[in-house]
Structure 1
Amino acid sequence: MPETKEPVNIKKSVWDTSVKVEENGYYWNNDPLFKKGSNINTDKPIVAELFCGCGGTSLGFEMAGFETVLGCDIHTPSIQTFQANHPNCSTINGDIKKVDPEVVKELLNGRQLDVLIGGIPCQGFSLNNRKRHEQDDRNYMYKEFARFVEVLQPKVVVLENVSGMKSVGSFVSDIETHLSKIGHMNVKSKLLYAPDYGVPQKRKRLIFIGIRDNVFDFRDIIKTHGPETENEYVTIKDAIGDLPALKNKETKTKYNSEPSSDFQELMRLNTNGRFTGHTAPNHPAATIERIRNTKPGEPMYDRFKQRIRLAWNILSPTQVSGGIRPQFQLGHPKDNRGLTIRERCRIQSFPDNFIVKGGTVQARVQTGNAVPPFLAKAVALAIKKYIE
């Protein structure tokens, strides 16, 4: 009788699409945690954000005169950040699949929701994700967003995702059709380029917008920077050139120079001269040497062309979350180090009074996943004309 051989265990590559996506250890998978806010009686139009992350879209809407009344996300550090910057806002920390839309309706205390925002998970569509594929479970989270649209019946829906969604299956048309039917509105989408709205970063976001009893015209989203305007794109120098220089592991909390651009002046509003999150990464000597030996504007690693050392006169590449490991993405143009969380915030157009919770790695996750507030502001200003 032939000998029976034990099956050989072949270790699959982490990039194999059959290998389940590694989950962030900071996800709250227990029963959702509810915190009721106190700002529902505002006179401003109100917005609620699902998959809110740290709240970039909400912040942009607030810049345009809206009031955020709810943020919901599974990532605990993101909710901690959201609460730190929206202390009077209701929050839900938990898996959206476990949240009953009727509970959110109760939190609204009888008010009709003006805008429901959804920043559905983008990793399944991201061009930076080498494991992206059509059947990634995260690609279908728009159906969870639709459950809330059906119950809450907001005046406006805004759903956003990465540009890569357009090249994966029929998701764009499926989402437009599904939300149009559920929300009783005509939902359309368009790719927006963040630098056109004052963001110093080559970031594109796919924005879906539907408005009750109207058809949204994307031409109403006014560009503020670039060839069609009076303002040039905001460069890295414009964005972070005034922040203090740092050595490895060093922290600074005060400005030591005057602002040298309009962007820097906007970032410094309401700070009283102090800020958080400006701590240099704790790099090993080999990483410091790698950055030192890389020319500004060039890749630091042969295999990862997006991981460049920034140059003063360029736009940043798309800032990514960095996964769940303590890697940095971009090198500083002058200092031999990666970017601080404050510099990452600036490149996303988060002002210096915005507080990011959760430690360096989770702060990178939050700032990489966020929608730039200035981009969201441009969208919000256009929407405000319709609901007024």
Structure 2
Amino acid sequence: MGALKSFKQKSHFPKPIKTHFSLKDALGDLPPIQSGENGDALGYLKNADNVFLEFVRNSKELSEHSSPKNNEKLIKIMQTLKDGQNKDDLPESLRPKSGYINTYAKMWWEKPAPTITRNFSTPSSSRCIHPRDSRALSIREGARLQSFPDNYKFYGSDSAKRLQIGNAVPPLLSIALAQAVFDFLKG
């Protein structure tokens, strides 16, 4: 970390946070859905059982939990992959001819999620294949992984919603950053 020489106060890193949440911790209460399905009417599977779910679960109704319809080949690719695998782990008959290592890649259920970008519903662009269901992430799942509460409404087309989520500074990061600045200025 750099600082101006004229800045006399010592800079330091905050105490590390030891807790991390897995994908399962963040999304495990959402109902399973498949390619092309909408899970809004299904509701939550279980009560909030960790502090992250207590933060995001501020709505009685589930919304934006639907999956885009995919073609049969992509569904077969998603069904074939195991947790953490990518296109290079596919049989030759299913392997896409191009793409980076994180494309056509399944997320890990027991590990923290990778960075969420605007392409979190596009398996050919990012590691976004749900580890339990054979599909890409729903808008609600992407929003949750960015720490948006479940009652937060996104507007526009699905593409516009994904752009809003992928380009956002996660709310919990904003809170932590604001608190650190406040504490620093307060002395």
TM bracket, shorter-chain basis:
0.7 to 0.9
Alpha-carbon distance in structure 2 between the residues aligned to 1:216 and 1:245: 49
Select 1:318's aligned residue among 102, 108, 115.
Answer: 115
Partner of 1:305: 101
Matched residues in 2 for 1:266 and 1:299: separation? 32
2:152 maps to 1:365: no
- 1:266: which partner in 2? 55
Q: Residue 222 of structure 1: CA displacement? A: 4.8
Q: Which runs of 5+ in 1 are unaligned?
A: 1-165, 167-172, 178-184, 187-213, 227-231
Structure with higher strand content = 1
- For 1:49-103, what per-residue CA distance to the aligned partner results, in whole angstroms no more than 9, with x for missing partners? xxxxxxxxxxxxxxxxxxxxxxxxxxxxxxxxxxxxxxxxxxxxxxxxxxxxxxx
Conservation of the 8 A alpha-carbon contact between 1:311 and 1:333: yes
Q: Does 1:294 align with 2:94?
A: no
Q: CA deviation at 1:303?
A: 2.6
- Kept in 2: contact 1:222–1:378 (CA 8 A): no
Q: Which one of 235, 243, 247 corresponds to residue 34 of structure 2?
A: 247
Q: Which runs of 5+ in 2 are unaligned?
A: 88-95
Displacement after TM superposition at 1:260 (Å): 3.0
Q: Structure 1 residue 282 and structure 2 residue 69: aligned? A: yes
Normalising to structure 1: TM-score of the pair?
0.40
Paired AA for residue 282 in structure 1: K
CA contact (8 A) 1:306 1:317 kept: no
> By how many angstroms is 1:362 displaced?
2.1
Q: Kindly state the Cα deviation for residue 352 of structure 1 after the two structures are TM-superposed.
A: 0.9
Q: Distance in 2 between matches of 1:332 and 1:281?
A: 13
* Correspondence 1:72-91 to 2 at 5 A: none
| Residue aligned with 2:102, SS | strand
Q: What count of residue pairs does the alignment treat as equivalent?
A: 170
CA RMSD in angstroms comes to 2.8
Matched-pair contact (CA < 8 Å) for 2:122–2:136: no
- 1:267-321 CA-to-partner distances (Å, cap 9, x unmatched) read 102x1x1132111121111111110011111114663222321121112222222
Instruction: Return the letter of the residue paired with 1:365.
Output: L
Could you say if the C-alpha distance between residues 341 and 222 of structure 1 is closer, same or farther in structure 2, counting changes exceeding 3 Å? Answer: farther
- d(CA) in 1 for partners of 2:153, 2:130: 21
Corresponding residue number in structure 1 for 2:139 = 341
Q: CA–CA distance in 2 between the matches of 1:249 and 1:378?
A: 36
Q: CA deviation at 1:242?
A: 0.7
Pick aligned residue for 1:327 from 95, 110, 122: 122
Q: Give the Cα–Cα distance (whole angstroms) in 1 for the partners of residues 10 and 149 of structure 2.
A: 29
In structure 1, distance between residues paired with 2:20 and 2:139 = 22
2-structure distance, mates of 1:256, 1:295:
23
State the shift of 1:263 in Å: 1.3
Deviation at 1:259, TM superposition (A): 2.2
- TM-score, with length taken from structure 2: 0.78
Superposition map of 1:97-116 within 5 A: none
Give, as a single letter, the amino acid of the residue that structure 2 aligns with 1:268: R
